[in-house]
Amino acid sequence: MVQFLASRSSTDFSLLLLRLLLVTSSLNPGACSQVPRGADSATAAENPLTRIVGVDPQQQDGRVQAMHPVSPLLTSEEVERLNSFDGEPSVEAAGVTRRVAPFSVGQWNYAHATFYGDETAQDTMQGACGYGNMYQQGYGTATTALSSTLFDNGFACGRCFEIRCVASWACYLGNPSTIVTATNFCPANWLKPTNNGGWCNPPRQHFDMSKPAFEKIAAWRAGIVPVAYRRVPCSKQGSMEFRIEGNPWWHIVFITNVGGPGDIGEVYIRGSGTKRWVRMSHNWGVGFQVFGGYLGQGLSFMVISSSNLETVMAWNVVPANWRLGQTFSGGQFQHPR
């Protein structure tokens, strides 16, 4: 092998090296990654705090574990008014107007849909939103991954979509629709054109569904079908669930079973000892983090939807003797049941 390479001209060697780099950088193009790639180098150069979506937070460095660059949904004055109450006021009582109408059905738009995995939907478990086991979390196989245009840097996690196959031989008679929850990210494949394999490349709006969900609307042999889609309220049983992970000095809270708009734009935490609302930063998916020791304190959460700014206060949902790895329930957005 050494003699072979030595006999090549410098130009041939450069071409061979380039081919090797292209092959090794492909990283399974066309598949929906459950641990998506981070921001590209150009974006990272512009903003060193760019989030790495879908990477275990314990593996991220301190630069990534920083507050997301989105403007706060509550002003500092509103937070101070909330902090001035010693009891359990509603956001309205504190002068923070957040009473909104329930999230309603959106307008129809057009996109394309593919599927990944098999009939068991095993490949859809975990994913870039932080839900973990979809069966245990109540999402089952009615799930989809979103292209970056729809994924919204993870803030689209939890949104519900009604999807209907249109204008294809593969569509079932009557064009039935199905409702799915966004639980994963479908990365771009820059080695292929957007109309031939690079289905999730920007600016395409694309759904990479679980196979059982895809088979609700079309024959799987088609591979890809045009679809009509719209946002719909998420119907959930019970309250939101707060799963606390991390360590004694850093906590990340994964919020699941979110009804109504389904998404989370901002989260605040309040310890029974500190008695102050602190804005948590968005880490990845439905995970929001805070630095500081909250062990030994009862916890309350304030959750704000990024879609309609509906705000829910989940008071004292976590007792003072909580431990990492536990899940607690409380609060819920307005939604049909």
What's the CATH number where 93 sits?
2.60.40.760
Which residue type is seen at 37?
A: R
Instruction: Say if 26 falls within a structural domain.
Output: no
Decide if 280 contacts 289 (C-beta within 8 A). yes
- Give the residue-averaged pLDDT of 227-256: 94
Nearest in space to 243 (alpha carbons), one of 91, 133, 89: 133
Range of the domain at 301: 60-101+238-337
Nearest in space to 213 (alpha carbons), one of 277, 295, 140, 270: 140
- Give the residue-averaged pLDDT of 262-288: 92
Picking from 232, 260, 295, the residue at the C-terminal end of a domain is 232
Does residue 136 sit in the same domain as residue 192?
yes
Task: Write out pLDDT tens, residues 317-326.
Answer: 999 999 999 9
Instruction: Say if 11 falls within a structural domain.
Output: no
Q: What's the chain's average pLDDT?
A: 77
Does residue 144 sit in the same domain as residue 170?
yes
Does residue 182 sit in the same domain as residue 261?
no
Task: Write out pLDDT tens, residues 101-130.
Answer: 778 888 999 999 999 876 766 666 678 898
Does residue 223 sit in the same domain as residue 242?
no
Instruction: Say if 284 falls within a structural domain.
Output: yes
Picking from 200, 232, 264, the residue at the C-terminal end of a domain is 232
Nearest in space to 35 (alpha carbons), one of 52, 22, 49: 52
Picking from 185, 209, 232, the residue at the C-terminal end of a domain is 232
What's the predicted TM-score (pTM) here? 0.74
What's the CATH number where 125 sits?
2.40.40.10
Other CB atoms within a 10 A radius of the CB of residue 281 amount to 19
Q: Which long-range contacts (CB under 8 A, 24 or more apart) does 291-299 make?
A: 291/65, 291/249, 291/250, 292/249, 293/248, 293/249, 294/251, 294/269, 295/248, 295/322, 296/320, 297/271, 297/272, 297/273, 298/271, 298/272, 299/269, 299/270, 299/271, 299/272
State yes or no: pLDDT of 231 exceeds 90. Answer: yes
**Beta strand 206-210 pairing with 109-116:** parallel
Does residue 188 sit in the same domain as residue 228?
yes
Does residue 142 sit in the same domain as residue 227?
yes
Does residue 157 sit in the same domain as residue 176?
yes
- pLDDT band at residue 135 using 50, 70 and 90 as cut-offs: confident
Decide if 254 contacts 246 (C-beta within 8 A). no
Does residue 159 sit in the same domain as residue 254?
no
**Beta strand 277-279 pairing with 266-271:** antiparallel
State yes or no: pLDDT of 43 exceeds 90. Answer: no
Decide if 251 contacts 213 (C-beta within 8 A). no
- Structural domain total, the chain: 2
Percent of the chain having pLDDT more than 90?
Answer: 50
Which has the minimum average pLDDT: 18-22, 62-66, 246-250, 333-337? 62-66
